[in-house]
Amino acid sequence: MSARSPDLWVVMAAYNEARVIADVVADVRTAAHRVVVVDDGSKDATADLAASAGAIVIRHPINLGQGAALQTALDFAVTQGADIIVTFDADGQHRAADIAGLIDALTRHGADFALGSRFLGSSSNLPPSRRALLRAATWFTRVTTGLDITDSHNGLRAMTRRGASRIHLRQNRMAHASEILHQIAASGLKYVETPVTIHYSAYSLAKGQTLFDALLIILDLFARRLHR
Amino acid sequence: MIAQLLLTAMLFTILLYASMTYRQAPIIGLLSVAAAFGGLYFVWVPSHATRLAELVGINRGVDLILYTWVLISLIMLLNLHLKLRAQLELITLLARKIAIADAVNSLPSSEGRRS
């Protein structure tokens, strides 16, 4: 890396997030100059509001899913010369203030991935059922990937350009969070976990995953292994 | 005899289908081949079908053949699902290329790629 400061891009996938996207983008812009929002075929004004708030907006012509939108954002950021890419949820549950901690962890440990963990940090308003589901998902991920992690489904993570180039998501929908971890494990690149804070609002909880979603994720991951 | 010939023709079609499927989804191809050969064997050696059926609690060999056919149908359904997923992946790649090209074209020059 040269002497210039690393080019930091924050990317997020958004689908029908008109209620919160402007505030989220404005918040993130306090931490990063370049913010990319992939509007995943929203039916509301998400794209326009994100653009007005200062984000670079990429519009999927059709709804493909969060995983597909995230891969689009990673591809775009890498081709545009990003040095560090942070993935951030568009529903307002993350804090822009945690981005600095992720970047610091990357540089301090010489890692290619810094994964946010609400269980090392904190979370407010996390229902017990959701906590149990996340714990089970983390246990499953630890067993299947061998990664020593405490939070398998946290959308707040940072990666170097080299790390991002090793991510090729084929799970378009919610299973992408597990797929990223599988690909991180397969890459052999160094990863660290960093404490982050997640604030659950009624809005973000309504968009979260249920036990049924978790079963679909497992099926998705299994089906993906059946074909090339 | 007519039923045996009909079933044989259908099971050979499954074998053809399995060979076409193998390259894209080897597991489905292998399952289809195994089910089709199993089906062919039971169609032409019904006494063994009956013995195996009794062994697993189905009672009649002809029922076992029907169950085999249901199994083959399920495997084909699974393969259809996998083909749809493969199509969706292609659509995703296409949509992504279009979306990124549009975004790059609409970038102001100051936001362009850093050297």
Instruction: Name the domain count of chain B.
Output: 1
Q: What's the mean pLDDT when you consider all of chain B?
A: 83
Domain boundaries in chain A?
8-224
Largest CA distance in chain B: 79
- Asked if A61 and B27 come within 8 Å (Cβ–Cβ), the reply is no
Q: What is the DSSP letter of B107?
A: S
Specify if B112 maps to a domain.
no
Contact at CB, A64 and B107, closer than 8 angstroms: no
* Candidate from A7, A170, A226 with C-beta closest to B25: A226
Token pair, residue A48, equals: 């326009």
Q: Rounded to whole angstroms, how far apart are CA atoms B73 and A146?
A: 37
Q: Is the pTM of this model over 0.80?
A: no
Token pair of B37 as six digits: 């050969």
| Cβ-nearest to A228 among B24, B102, B114 | B24
In a domain, B40, yes or no: yes
Interface contact A228-B113, CB threshold 8 A:
no
Residue B25 inside a domain? The answer is yes
The whole domain housing B48 covers: 2-105
**Domain for residue B15, yes or no?**
yes
pLDDT in tens, B23-53: 777 888 888 888 888 888 888 888 887 888 8
User: What pLDDT does residue A211 have?
Assistant: 61
Give residue A17's pLDDT band: very low, low, confident or very high (50, 70, 90).
very high
Q: Quick check: A165 and A85 in contact, CB under 8 A?
A: no
Closest CB from B27, B89, B100 relative to A75: B100
| Cβ contact, residue pair B100, A227, below 8 Å | no
Q: Identify from B85, B104, B109 which residue to disrupt to test chain A contact, counting A C-beta atoms within 10 A and taking the largest count.
A: B85
Which residue is it, tokens 């968009």?
A207
Whether the Cβ atoms of residue A121 and residue A195 lie closer than 8 Å to each other: yes
Half-sphere exposure of B84 (CA within 13 A, CB side): 8
Task: Kindly indicate the confidence band of residue A208, based on its pLDDT and cuts at 50, 70 and 90.
Answer: low
Residue B110 lies inside a defined structural domain of this protein: no
Which of residues A211 and A73 earns the better pLDDT score? Answer: A73
The verdict on domain A8-224 having CATH code 3.90.550.10 is: yes
Helix (H) or strand (E) holding B99, with range, is: helix B61-106
- Of the given ranges (A31-35, A100-104, A181-185, B100-104), which has the lowest mean pLDDT? A31-35
